[in-house]
Amino acid sequence: MRSGLRALTAVCALSLVAAAGCGRPGDALAEQVTIGATLELTGPAAIVGLAHRNALQLAADQLNAAGGVRGQRINLRIRDNRSLPDVAAADVKALAAGDVAAIIGGGTTETSVAAAVEAEQARVPLIALGPSPEITAPAEQRRYTFKTEPNPDAVVGTLVDEFGVQNIRSIGIFASTGTYGDAGLAALQAGAAQRNIRVAGIERFGEDDRDLDAAAGRLRAIRPDAVVVWSPLPGAGVAARSLRDSGYQPGGGKVYFDPGVGAEQFLRDAGAAAEGSLVVNPAILAVIQTAATTPSALAQKEFVTKYTQRYGTFSGYASYSADALHLVATAIHNAGTADREAIRAALERVNYEGLSGSYDFSETSHGGAAGDGLAVLQVRDQGWVMAP
């Protein structure tokens, strides 16, 4: 077992989610530690921010029920950044001026980058939830910033392994514009080149575009073995429908999506066009449909069950924010203090098995989850299952 929360798990004998608790009698620490968050509770990315808020509240409740962190109760202070980068930056500035030990958020690349810039100036540890590698790189300029969502190259590594299994030798890329799509496109092109997979065509679209029929038709015309859609919601749902309407799916071609579609909104937006679609995502999204036989799978199933009982349906975004809170709790436990500089230093030494995969931070690498937590999932009957 690795250090940190894993060592505590055997002592607590509860679950991965509760493992950061085990408060110690006689600890001379404060009665509570406050963790701030800037999330997209309103605006275009609200589907992301609301899932993160729900997961943070659930994880905090479970940690507190298990004794908190070294006897300290976790207190969340959550602000709505309205899906706006400048508001996310202002949130971090305001939170850092108070008594927060660390901050979590934002949930998109844009809000995460804005939050990171402010966190570095304020010298407050930040666990970002966005996907782009630029959030935590270069490391020398992001000393206080970490993230949980896997980097695009980890996602692409799982994809190209799948392509080898499925004998996929050519792909079309359907990527949104902006930093999210740019990062995915670059990783896909690099991964394809390394595995001698031909990129037959590339189509780009705006994240808010609602008519992608012509672009989908061009991809269908070049007849790739598979199409990879790399876009946040709602663009990914529009792309799915356009590919289906073009005759590409269903009709013989495979369509893969990045982890940005791991939410109920994709199933609603894409409708029948989602059926049969494949997505690379942390395996937790389909854990209820699998036999949980390992400690990590049992912890995942427990979290999904409790999340669903409380909120009605599980979101694929939820595990990233739950992991973020546990990473902060791990750092506080290991450091023995909620001092910001001590938390930052402790995070760089964290080895943690999370709900989304393992985290192995260092001075030169601050994110995100490793590829060991990723799997290829498939939409079946408006739900997520492990791909055959």
- The per-residue pLDDT for 49 is 97
- The per-residue pLDDT for 249 is 61
Task: Fold for 5-151+295-373, please state it.
Answer: Rossmann fold (3.40.50)
Please compute, for residue 279, the number of CA atoms within 13 A of its CA located in the half-sphere on the CB side: 30
Please compute, for residue 218, the number of CA atoms within 13 A of its CA located in the half-sphere on the CB side: 11
The pLDDT averaged over each successive group of 10 residues in the chain (388 residues) is 34 35 41 96 95 98 93 96 98 98 96 98 98 92 97 96 95 94 96 97 92 95 95 92 84 83 88 92 91 86 96 95 98 96 97 94 92 94 91
Letter for the amino acid at 88? Answer: A
Please tell me the total number of residues recorded for the chain in this structure. 388
Which class does domain 152-287+375-386 fall in?
A: alpha beta
Residues 6+ apart with CB under 8 A from 103: 35, 36, 37, 38, 92, 95, 96, 115, 119, 124, 125, 126, 127
Domain with CATH 3.40.50.2300 in the chain: 5-151+295-373, 152-287+375-386
